[in-house]
């Protein structure tokens, strides 16, 4: 059995296959996933699992280079933004939500959580460990 923290087999596989500058989206239950982008659906019910808990789990295994958040999170969900800033230690770039949705078509996958707050979405950009 796998010893590290990401035990969802599909999520673990995607992280293991990522290279430098590859992207992985994580978001709330309502984020549309483009046709052709793999969706790893972890949502169980309203709020379970939470967006922040899933991101923390992913960060235990994924080396980050930078992240993208929707510009709208600053005004529409400042509590979630504060929580993200507590767990992210790489540059945060803000883009319009519509661009984020379009950029998911280039992501290796999108991880759907049970989060039910607005703009709780992030694009994680893979770094390297050397």
Phi, psi dihedrals of residue 81, rounded to the nearest 5°: -60, -45
In whole angstroms, what is the distance from residue 34 CA to residue 24 CA?
A: 13
In whole angstroms, what is the distance from residue 18 CA to residue 61 CA?
A: 11
- Catalytic annotation present for 60: no
* 97 in a labelled binding site: yes
C-alpha angle with apex 90: 54 to 79, nearest 5 degrees?
55
Locus of tokens 């803000």: 94
* 121 in a labelled binding site: yes
* 28 in a labelled binding site: yes
* 120 in a labelled binding site: yes
Using DSSP's 3-state secondary structure scheme, residue 99 falls into helix
Catalytic residue among 9, 20, 74, 91: 20
Locus of tokens 């694009």: 123
In whole angstroms, what is the distance from residue 126 CA to residue 23 CA?
A: 6
Pick out the residues of the known binding site.
28, 97, 119-121
User: Which residues fall in the annotated binding site for substrate?
Assistant: 28, 97, 119-121
Residues known to be catalytic: 20
């Amino acid at each position: 059995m796998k010893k590290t923290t990401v035990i969802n087999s599909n999520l673990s596989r995607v992280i293991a296959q990522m290279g430098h500058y590859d992207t992985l989206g994580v978001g709330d239950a309502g984020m549309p996933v483009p046709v052709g982008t793999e969706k790893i659906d972890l949502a169980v019910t309203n709020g379970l699992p939470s967006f922040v808990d899933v991101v923390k789990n992913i960060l235990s295994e994924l080396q980050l280079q930078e992240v993208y958040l929707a510009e709208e999170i600053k005004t529409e969900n400042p509590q979630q933004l504060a929580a993200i800033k507590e767990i992210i230690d790489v540059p945060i770039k803000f883009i319009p939500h519509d661009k984020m949705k379009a950029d998911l078509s280039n992501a290796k996958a999108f991880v759907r959580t049970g989060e039910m707050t607005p703009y709780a979405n992030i694009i994680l950009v893979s770094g390297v460990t050397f």
